[in-house]
Chains A and B, each alone.
Chain A
């Protein structure tokens, strides 16, 4: 019954490393999103994609990039990890339209040391 799968639940990386967070959905959804969640700040949108090979910046894209080569997969890339990128990262998908909710993955807790 799992619909949005994030490849890792926990990751520890060193400062300066290039980090890949993978997200796969099996619901044939057009829209996919990457958020980070920090205490007191809620969910902040990093990047989103409405279709294959399309991407748009969210509210906090600095230090991140994304890739969507296939409809079901949306990858978040930290080009050079920094300690302030330590966070919970959540991937979500949704069908097109303005009423449907998001289906979230279980999250990846990333620690950068």
Chain B
């Protein structure tokens, strides 16, 4: 069974600070995705990374896929209250279904 471990599970920081969320596994994934979920809504896809070592940027968010395609990180620069939410990583092994991490609940305080 493929598992994804996210850390930290909870993170509360002040507006303007930087942060990194990690997503780790002992399994290799063909691709990895990051989603953000706001209260009362379903997760929304932020990015997909496919190639080992790949880095993608989405405004102040930087996503990296590990060289061995077993881990990923999400870095937010100068966090804003609008970044508050639950961040989920999800990996795709060989089949078409995703394996999700437990999520990181991020709170940005004004």
Contacts and interface: CB of A to CB of B under 8 A. Distances in A.
A73 B15 CA distance: 42
A74 interface: no
B88 interface: yes
26 contacts: A40-B102, A41-B102, A42-B101, A42-B103, A43-B43, A43-B88, A43-B100, A48-B97, A58-B97, A90-B42, A94-B96, A98-B94, A99-B31, A101-B33, A101-B35, A101-B45, A101-B48, A102-B43, A102-B98, A103-B45, A104-B42, A104-B43, A105-B42, A106-B41, A107-B40, A107-B42
Contacts of B92: 98-99
Contacts of B88: 42-43
B68 interface: no
Interface residues of A, number: 28
Nearest to A9: B40
B50 to A, nearest CB: 6
Nearest to A38: B102
Interface in A31-81: 31, 33, 35, 40-43, 45, 48, 50, 58
Contacts of A4: 42
- The size bracket of the interface on B is 20 to 34
Nearest to A91: B42
Nearest to B33: A101
Contacts of B97: 33, 45, 48, 58
Contact of B42 (A31, A41, A92): A92
Given A42-B102, A42-B103, A43-B88, A107 B41 contact: yes
